[in-house]
Amino acid sequence: MVYQVYVRSFADAGTHDDEHGAGGEAGVGDLPGITSRLPHLRDLGVDAVWLTPFYRSPQHDHGYDVADYRDVDPLFGTLADADDLLATAHDLGLKVVVDLVPNHTSSAHAWFQQALAAAPGGPERARYLFRDGRGTGGDEPPNNWRSVFGGPAWTRVEEADGTPGQWYLHLFDTSQPDLDWRNPEVGDELESVLRFWLDRGVDGFRVDVAHGLLKEASLRDQADPGAPAPGRDEPSTEPITEPGSRSMVERTDDDEPMWDQPEVHDVYRRWHRVLADYPGDRMAVAEAWTRTPDSMARYVRADELQQTFNFAWLLAPWSAPAFLEVVESSRRALAGVGREPTWVLSNHDVVRHATRYADGDPARGLARARAATLTMLALPGSAYLYQGEELGLPQVDVAPEHRQDPSWVRHRGADGEIGRDGCRVPMPWSGQAPPYGFSRGTGQPWLPQPDDWGPLSVEAQTGVDGSTLELYREALRLRRRYVGRPLDSVLVEGDVLHLAKADLRVVLNCGEQPVALPEGEMLLASGPVTDGMLPPDTACWVSAPPRGR
């Protein structure tokens, strides 16, 4: 089980009395803060921690714009702090996975600065995707691609003599120029970055935008961008009805010359060999928003990466048949390459699942989130949890003046897109008022925390029967016993999902009426269970004698 730490929002070792705390700026999480809170993760029962990017970066996309892959941003600490975090985690029995951002650099990266200073056509520009514009005077972008964060995917530069010049590609923000992975220098550099962190002892990598590295070589126009693609075999995006982060998940274009090109797999074959050079089970997990279970499975063929995120459950509506379809189709596709799927319900790019499932009723959202998590944790394969979900944190409606996500900045509310800040609000650790122990002192964290989060803090939930934190702790403890057992069956009756392993029954009631519990000893339920009945929006694990004996 891997726990995602969003570095800015986990724990700030600084104080608000100094402007600059231990790790950097007060009010922003940092590496020493994470190190000090690792015992929480050990007590929770996680196996590995994934840290979002902490490298040198102007922070236009909160670290997903890397200016130096081999150094820690002063905001978060130093390389010595990273070493200290690794050593402490390993002492506590936790593995550490770091984020690798290979699709693009920051525009502040030395390579991009050299490219801007160099003349068109030179080797400095060949590390990125610089092209002449179309139309009179090259005034039009080289093609019609759109940025994931809104607006065109191309920005024009000014040449050294002050004249309007070439255009560069950025599938995300203008401050995130895409690298040209057809240039061998790029692959060599990123291999050296992998080795830099492997040498320091990291256990693995989460590969950002893993499906984007190679673009169709022609950089041709996309056919009818934005047009819906009827009849595609892809997950529904319907449940993302709450505001925020739709751009990350909505893939409505039929023709995608910028994503999931066959050549990208050569990169992962090479990285497989790099990882194999190191002792222990070093691994990498692909963040690949692919269109189908089969295209997802291609990232984890035997000679490629070890895991790939399976976003299908996260995209599915609250419905037992939809969950059944996700479990069956993901397992079928992954079985074809000899792997189990991964499972994830929340991350730093999507609306938290306690809010996604709420349909306007926060209590229902939390009940469903707990039930979905308990069910997911019974499935074979790695599960990924996002910080704060163990507290039942909801999505926060961050006021426009506080929003920082470049997706908000570029969309400015177009299509209802308000950005991803709402799932990134700093963790409440203790106390009754912000900053809830996130930072020492009394000042405000980088995103304001709601005034009513006191009862959700780690301190408030610890040892409290039925709290979300204790549910997660118990579920992760039991999971160690059951996760390795094969899934014997998964089926739906009405709107109730049933999973069966040798001596475990899991029932998830997505319907509106209570349903009878299976016979056996109740191990854990996500909500109150009375009179042998499982209420709506609730899941349970029951220990039952193996069938047919």
Whole-angstrom Cα distance, residue 172 to residue 166?
Answer: 18
To ligand BGC, the closest distance from the beta carbon of 140 in angstroms equals: 25
State in angstroms the smallest separation of the CB of 305 from ligand BGC: 16
Instruction: Name the residue among 444, 350, 359, 419 with its Cα closest to residue 389.
Output: 350
Nearer to ligand BGC, 65 or 537 (CB): 65
Closest CA to 449 of 435, 462, 439: 435
CA distance 436 to 318: 32
- Closer residue to ligand BGC, CB minimum distance, 253 or 349: 349
Asked if residue 435 has a cis previous peptide bond (ω within 30° of 0), the answer is yes
Contacting residues for 360 by C-beta, under 8 A, at least 6 apart: none
Give the H/E segment covering residue 538: strand 538-543
- Percent helix / strand / coil, the chain, rounded to 5: 30, 15, 55
Q: Which residues contact 463 (CB under 8 A, 6 or more apart)?
A: 470
**Nearer of residues 101 and 383 to ligand BGC, judged by Cβ:** 101
Residue placing its CB nearer to ligand BGC in the complex, 6 or 429: 6
What is the residue whose two structure tokens read 């739709």?
Answer: 246
Residue 541 CB, nearest distance to ligand BGC (Å)?
Answer: 31
Residue 209 or 374: the one with the smaller Cβ distance to ligand BGC is 209
User: Minimum Å distance from CB 68 to ligand BGC?
Assistant: 16
| Paired tokens of 172 | 């995300």
Least separation in angstroms between residue 55's CB and ligand BGC is 12
DSSP structural state of residue 412: T
* E-assigned strand segments in 391-537: 489-493, 496-501, 504-509, 515-516, 521-525, 533-534
Q: Which is nearer to ligand BGC, 172 or 472 (CB)?
A: 172
Task: Report in angstroms how near the CB of residue 49 gets to ligand BGC at its nearest.
Answer: 16
Binding residues (CB under 6 A) for ligand BGC: these are 61, 64, 101, 172, 208-209, 287, 348-349
Q: Nearest approach, Cβ of 228 to ligand BGC (angstroms)?
A: 22
Q: Which is nearer to ligand BGC, 153 or 327 (CB)?
A: 153
CB of 61 to ligand BGC, least distance (A): 5
CA distance 435 to 29: 12
Please list the residues that pair with 203 across neighbouring strands.
none
Q: Which is nearer to ligand BGC, 72 or 210 (CB)?
A: 210
Query: Residue 518: what residue type?
Result: P
CB 408 within 8 A of CB 447: no
How far does CA 134 lie from the centroid of its chain? Answer: 36
How near is the Cβ of 203 to ligand BGC at its closest, in Å? Answer: 20
Least distance in Å: CB of 209 to ligand BGC?
Answer: 5
Helix (H, G, I), strand (E, B) or coil at 71: strand
Q: Which residues contact 262 (CB under 8 A, 6 or more apart)?
A: none
Token pair 């449940």 in the structure block, residue: 239
| 166 or 247: CB nearest ligand BGC | 247
Question: Which of left, alpha, beta for 291 (phi over 0: left; psi -120 to 50: alpha)?
Answer: alpha
Min. distance of Cβ 6 from ligand BGC in angstroms? 9
Q: Are the CB atoms for 431 and 414 separated by under 8 Å? A: no
The DSSP call for residue 198 is: H
Smallest separation (angstroms) from ligand BGC to the CB of 347:
7
User: Which is nearest to 239 in space by CA: 365, 348, 327, 331?
Assistant: 365
Please say which residue, 129 or 327, places its beta carbon nearer to ligand BGC. Answer: 129
Distance CA 478, CA 363 (A): 25
Nearer to ligand BGC, 66 or 499 (CB): 66
Q: Could you give the 3-state DSSP secondary structure of residue 496?
A: strand
For residue 373, report the phi and psi dihedrals to the nearest 5 degrees.
Answer: -65, -45
Contact 396, 450 (CB under 8 A): yes
| Largest pairwise CA distance in the chain | 83
Residue with the closest Cβ to ligand BGC?
64
Whole-number minimum distance, CB 466 to ligand BGC, in Å?
33
Give the nearer residue to ligand BGC in terms of CB position, either 311 or 436: 311
CB of 209 or CB of 517, closer to ligand BGC? 209
Q: CA Rg, the chain, in Å? A: 23
